[in-house]
Amino acid sequence: MKRLLTLLLCCLPVWVLAAEPEVRVQARLVPADKVLVGGTVGLEVDLLVDTWFTAAPILPKLDLPGTVVNPPGGEAQKLTEQHDGKPFFGLRFTYQITPQAARQFAIPALEFQVRPGQASGPVTVRSQPLAFVAKAVGTKAGEQHLVARNLTFTQDIQRSHDPLRAGDSITRRLTIRAEGAQAMLIPPPELAEVKGLKRYLQTPKVQPLGDGRGGIDGGSREDSATYVIGEAGHLILPAIELTWWDAASGEAHTVSVPAVELDAAKGSYQAPFSISEDLHALGQKARVRISGYWLLLGAVLVVAGCLVFFGRPWGRAALSALQRWRATRQKARLESAGYAWKLARQQLQMRPAQLGGLYLWVRRSTGYRTLSALSGASPERIENRLLAFLKSRYGADQAASGTTADLMQALPDMQRAVTGRKTVNRAVHGLKPLNP
C-alpha cells in the first residue's frame, strides 16, 4: 500500500504538466483578394483555448505604413469550434485596414498574450504573417475615393416657417451610410453657397456602424447647413452627387439627392409662437418690457446717487472753498477804489449831499485824507472847483448850492487826473494830520 501511494505521488507532476490548456491562434484577411485603394480589408484574428479565458487578451498594435488602421473595439465575437475532435472556445478580433496607395502590403506576425483557465501563467502566441495587394480605382492618382460594399445617400429639409418669408431659415441635412468603409474616410458632400441665402455650416457627425455583434461594419457621416433667406423670390438648393466604388466589383456608382426649390414671400418676420401666451401658461401674467431710454436714465440716476453718497466729504469741502472765495472777492470789492467812486457819486446826488464816499475814494485812489491835499496836487481847473466847493461847504457863506453840481461835472476830470498817479505811502506808525 505504501509503495502504491509513493508511485502516485511521483506521477503527480507529470499529470499536472499534461493538464496545461491548449491555445491556438488563427488569422485571415477578409476579403482575401480584390482589395481596392480606399476600401477596407479586415484582419480577423481568432484566439482559441480548450478551457476558458480568465482575463481579456492583450492585443498588439498594428503599424502598417501607407494604410489607415482601426484597431479592434472593446467587444469581441465569441466562438465555439471543433478542432481534432476537441471543442475550443475563442474570441474573434478584427483590425480594419484601409490602404491609401496601390501596392503590396505585408502584415507581420503579431504576438497575442492570453490567460487561459488551468494554466500556470499567461501564454503568448504568434499569428502567421499575411500579405495583400491594393489596386487603384478612378483616373486621378492620389484622389480620395469612397469604396464600400453598399451606400445610401439621403437628405432631410427642415423649414423654420411655412410658407417661407424673407428672414426665415432652411436646414439641409445630408446623411451618408457606407457599409464596409471607415467613417473617418467618408468624404464630405458639397453644401454650396446659394445667391440670396446666407449659409451657416454645422459641425459634421461621424460615427461607425455596428454589425450587431460588437464589431464595426462601416461608417456614417451627417452634414448639415442652415440657409437664411435674405430676399424674397424663387430660390433653388442645387442637387448634390456622390461617386463611390463597389468593393467587390470595383465598379463606380453615382448617387445623388434632388434639388430643393423654395419660394420666399415678402413680409416682416414673426415668431412662430406667442411669447405672452407661453409666459401666461408658465404662471406669469405679463412680460415686463423696459425701454432702453429708461434703462439709461436709471443707470444715470444710480451713478449720480453713488457720487452724491460717496462724494459728500469732497462736496462739503468744495462748498466751503467756494464760500470763502466769494467772501474774499466781496471784501476786495468793498475795499476797492472803484466801489468808493460809485459810492461817492451816489452820495453827491443825495439831498443834502454826503461826502463820505468822496473822501473814501480820494484816500483809496491817492492816499490823501483831505480834499485840500488833493486840490494842491491837481490841475488848476480842478483845484478851483474843489476850492469853490470847500468854501461853499465849510466857509462862512454856504448859500451857493450850484457848487455841488459843478463838483459832479468835475468828477470825471478828477478821476482821469488821479488815474495812474502813485498812491502816497505813509509810514505805518505815522501820525494822522492834525485837524484834517
94, 48, 52: which is closest to 73 by C-alpha? 94
Cell output for 222: 451627417
Residue 38's nearest CA partner among 220, 205, 178, 212 is 178
- Looking from the CA of 291 toward its CB, the CA atoms found within 13 Å total 3
For residue 19, give Cα distances in angstroms to 90, 113, 118, 119.
19, 19, 8, 8
Q: Which residues pair with 246 in a beta bridge?
A: 148
Dihedrals phi, psi of 116, to nearest 5 degrees: -80, 155
CA distance 392 to 348: 14
Residue 319's SS3 state is helix
Residue pointed to by grid coordinates 466751503: 320
Return the pLDDT at 274. 66
d(CA 430, CA 436): 15
Specify the pLDDT at position 338.
81
SS3 419: coil
pLDDT in tens, the chain (436 residues): 566 566 555 555 544 445 689 999 999 999 888 889 988 999 999 999 999 999 999 999 999 999 999 898 777 889 999 988 899 999 999 999 999 999 999 999 999 999 999 888 999 999 999 999 998 886 565 567 889 989 999 999 999 888 888 889 999 999 999 998 888 889 999 998 998 899 999 999 999 888 777 677 889 999 999 999 988 888 899 999 999 999 888 889 999 999 999 888 876 555 556 666 776 677 655 556 667 788 888 899 999 888 888 888 888 888 889 999 999 888 888 888 888 888 877 877 787 777 787 788 888 878 777 777 776 666 776 777 777 777 776 666 655 555 677 677 677 777 777 765 655 554 445 566 677 5
Q: Determine the Cα angle at 227 with ends 222 and 229, to 5°.
A: 165
- Backbone phi and psi for residue 144, each to the nearest 5 degrees, phi listed first: -75, 130
Residue 21 preceded by cis peptide, ω within 30: no
Q: Quote the cell numbers at residue 411.
A: 468828477
Nearest by Cα to 238 from 264, 257, 263: 257
pTM of the model: 0.53
CA distance 200 to 95: 37
Q: What local confidence, expressed as pLDDT, does residue 238 receive? A: 93
Residues 6 or more apart whose CB falls under 8 angstroms from that of 5 comprise none
Q: Is 161 helix (H, G, I), strand (E, B) or coil?
A: coil
pLDDT recorded at residue 11: 52
**Coil vs helix vs strand at 342:** helix
Contact partners, residue 252, CB within 8 Å, separation at least 6: 137, 138, 243, 244, 245, 246
Q: How far is residue 100's CA from residue 113's CA, in Å, rounded to a whole number?
A: 30
pLDDT score recorded for residue 15? 44
Q: What is the pLDDT of residue 253?
A: 92
Residue whose cell numbers read 491548449: 22
Peptide bond into 433 cis (omega under 30): no
Query: Do 404 and 351 touch, CB atoms closer than 8 A?
Result: no
Exposed (0-12), middle (13-18) or buried (19+): which is 119, by Cβ within 10 Å? middle
pLDDT score for 14:
44
Largest CA distance in the chain: 183
Rounded Cα distance, 271 and 303, in Å: 37
Looking up cell 467772501 gives: 327
Backbone angles phi, psi at 410, to 5 degrees: -85, -10
Q: CA of 382: how far to CAs of 63, 78, 112, 338, 403, in Å?
A: 125, 138, 135, 20, 12
pLDDT value, residue 205 = 94
Secondary structure (3-state) at 11 = helix
Which helix or strand (DSSP H or E) is residue 278 part of? helix 275-281
Residue 268: the pLDDT is 58
Question: Measured between alpha carbons, how far is 407 from 388 in angstroms, rounded to an integer?
Answer: 9
> Cα(128)–Cα(219) distance, rounded to whole angstroms?
29
Which residues sit opposite 107 in a β-bridge?
A: 130
- Kindly state the helix (H) or strand (E) to which residue 362 belongs, with its residue range: helix 356-366
SS3 259: coil
Amino acid at 80: T
